[in-house]
Structure 1
Amino acid sequence: MGPVQWGDVPTWVAAIFAGGAAWFAYQTIKSQRQQISEQRQFIADQSTNLQLERSALHAAAEDRKWSQARQIRMHHRQAGVITDGQGNAVGPDHWEVTVQNSSGAPVHEVDVRFGSAYLAAEVYEVPSSAVHGPNPGERTIRPLHLLGAGRVIRFVSQHWSASTVHNNRPQLLFTDDNGVQWALDSYGKLEEAPAEGTP
């Protein structure tokens, strides 16, 4: 057996350069993959941050939207007395609903409905000191087109039987200073009301 043939110098040089080029290409591909992975992670982090910022902005906008409506107070009570044939009291005969604008801006188109069909029979503008008192104020019309900041108004229902009073609880309707319509029921549930004429 003869000596091993290792080739000539140019072949060796070419082989070394080819190996170096392959190693450099591998390192370049590896670096590019790492950069792509880092870019994807950066994009995912940015997307998450944007979603969090959008959520925070949406929550702040919703809070601002509800801010004034939450400051409108409704105090309601059953009043009057119905008596039976012997003069015994059997129940109240009407509702008195006092609305107080505790916000710093006016509200508009303020009205109260009793049940689904009845409207207030009498409306009075009363001083803020008489929120829980009788009706010392000045009679006005319904719906009240403007209730200024800090102002109070009282709605009085028709006089009914005790069962009709019980079955027709009051609901306050108003439009805030930004034009959003609201409904506040006698249990304290506040919700955005659909515009007139929408289902």
Structure 2
Amino acid sequence: MDWIDWGDAPTWLGAVFAAAAAGAAVWTLKSQRDQIDEQRRFIAEQSMNLGLERQALLAAAQERHEAQARKIRLYPQAPTYVQVVNDSDDPIYDVHCEARGMPALHAVELAPSEGVGAGILADLVQGASRPYVHRLGVGREAWFHVVTNERGAVHIRFTDAAGNKWVCDDAGGLHEAGA
């Protein structure tokens, strides 16, 4: 036992344990950094997923917002008539038609089965109705007598069941009034 200096053995033993503790601390720090990096990647991926879900929800909300308005059809007929058809599931209100900036002269609401006969057109020409339709029911149509129904010159304004105001033109354009 002459080869061991017992006075230095506790120092050596302390140094070995200190080195082991330092190695364990380095290993723990690396492990924590790896976990933090993995969490950052996960959070970035989740943020991206949430962004995509938000975009999808906003698109769906906009589609629901426009759904009824997109089912309103505008058809120029004959030289001075415009037909508006409500193919939506709810009535629309305050339907006004304009041609070249001039309001319709007269309007009448019909069920499609009633058809547009000479009597209806005569009523429109003679003014047996008002110049707008207050409520256009589901599956019903309105006929407007206008000064012209020249392509690109006709548009309608109406309010949907949710109270949103819309403008629709004869080229299929649709936008919110005032937007």
TM-score, normalisation: structure 1: 0.76
Q: Which runs of 5+ in 1 are unaligned?
A: 80-94, 159-163
Q: Which runs of 5+ in 2 are unaligned?
A: none
Higher relative contact order (CA 8 A, sep 6+): 2
| Distance in 2 (alpha carbons) for counterparts of 1:178 and 1:112 | 20
Higher helix share: 2
Aligned-residue Cα RMSD (Å) equals: 2.4
Change over 3 Å in CA distance of 1:136–1:34 after alignment to 2: farther
Q: In the alignment, which residue of structure 1 is the partner of 2:44?
A: 44
SS at match of 1:105: coil
| Distance in 2 (alpha carbons) for counterparts of 1:33 and 1:13 | 30
| Distance in 2 (alpha carbons) for counterparts of 1:18 and 1:166 | 93
Deviations 1:71-98 (A, max 9, x none): 111110342xxxxxxxxxxxxxxx2001
SS at match of 1:140: coil
Alignment of 1:69-88 (within 5 A): 69-79=69-79
1:125–1:140 contact (8 Å) kept in structure 2? no
2:82–2:149 contact (8 Å) kept in structure 1? no
Change over 3 Å in CA distance of 1:140–1:194 after alignment to 2: same
Instruction: Note if 1:104 corresponds to 2:89.
Output: yes
Q: In the alignment, which residue of structure 1 is the partner of 2:129?
A: 140
Change over 3 Å in CA distance of 1:60–1:14 after alignment to 2: same
TM-score, normalisation: structure 2: 0.84
> Following TM superposition, by how much is the alpha carbon of 1:109 offset from its aligned partner in structure 2, in angstroms?
1.0
